[in-house]
Amino acid sequence: DIQMTQSPASLSASLGETVTIECLASEDIYSNLAWYQQKPGKSPQLLIYDASSLQDGVPSRFSGSESGTQYSLEINSLQSEDAATYFCQQHHDYPPTFGGGTKLELK
């Protein structure tokens, strides 16, 4: 199975700041990477797929990028509603596998 190593496990940031969350794939996943947001008590929501394609309705302050097998989610101009857990998922091969998650707290 493809391992997805996500970092950091948690981070704290202030309103208006920019944060970056990373996922490292154990092998080439050919840009087949999705990012999800899960707020407490809510269902996960798809943010980005194919490494950098923004899901309909997702604010443009969310963006995804890649460098080799390292994938990044950047959130610009943090807003209070961005406090959540974020996780990555490779959608290249079976079984689809997930990163361990990053809990983002707003100061």
Partner 1 sequence: EVQLQQSGPELRRPGSSVKLSCKASGYSITDYLMHWVKHRPEHGLEWIGWIDPEDGETKYAQKFQSKATLTADTSSNTAYMQLSSLTSEDTATYFCARAAGTLVMDAWGQGASVTVSS
Per CB under 8 A, residues contacting partner 1 are 32, 34, 36, 42-46, 49, 55, 87, 89, 91-92, 94-101
Q: Tell the smallest beta-carbon distance from residue 76 to partner 1 (Å).
A: 23
Distant-in-sequence, close-in-space partners of 9: CB < 8 Å, separation ≥ 6:
100, 101, 102, 103
Q: What share of the chain is helix, strand, coil (3-state, %, to 5)?
A: 5, 50, 45
Q: Tell the smallest beta-carbon distance from residue 56 to partner 1 (Å).
A: 9
Closer CB to partner 1, 45 or 65, in the complex:
45
